[in-house]
């Protein structure tokens, strides 16, 4: 009988403790997620800007090479 009463008291205490106020973990985690997203977005923007600069440099180099080849072709045609 005493063990049954003790067991009932323990179960009641656990049930009441489970119904207590819960911490709001999501509210604390939200700013950290926003900061991480901002940092990731900034990294993507930096990478895109770097890639755009590289493509622009390559296009400029290709244009110079085409101009040089065209000039060489004109010179070769003129010397014949």
Q: What is the pLDDT of residue 21?
A: 63
What average pLDDT does range 59-64 have in this prediction?
Answer: 84
The 10s digit of each residue's pLDDT in 6-51 is 778 877 777 777 676 666 555 555 666 667 777 888 888 888 888 8
Measured CA to CA in angstroms, residue 26 lies from 32, 36, 39, 40, 73 at distances of 10, 15, 20, 20, 69
Q: Is 12 exposed, middle or buried (0-12, 13-18, 19+ CB in 10 A)?
A: exposed
pLDDT at 71: 81
Q: Which residue has the tokens 């709001």?
A: 24
């Amino acid at each position: 009988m005493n063990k049954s009463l003790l067991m009932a008291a323990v179960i009641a205490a656990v049930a009441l403790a489970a119904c207590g106020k819960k911490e709001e973990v999501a509210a604390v985690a939200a700013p950290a997620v926003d900061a991480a997203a901002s940092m990731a977005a900034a990294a993507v923007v930096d990478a895109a800007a770097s890639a755009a600069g590289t493509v622009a440099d390559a296009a400029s180099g290709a244009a110079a090479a085409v101009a040089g080849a065209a000039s060489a072709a004109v010179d070769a045609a003129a010397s014949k």
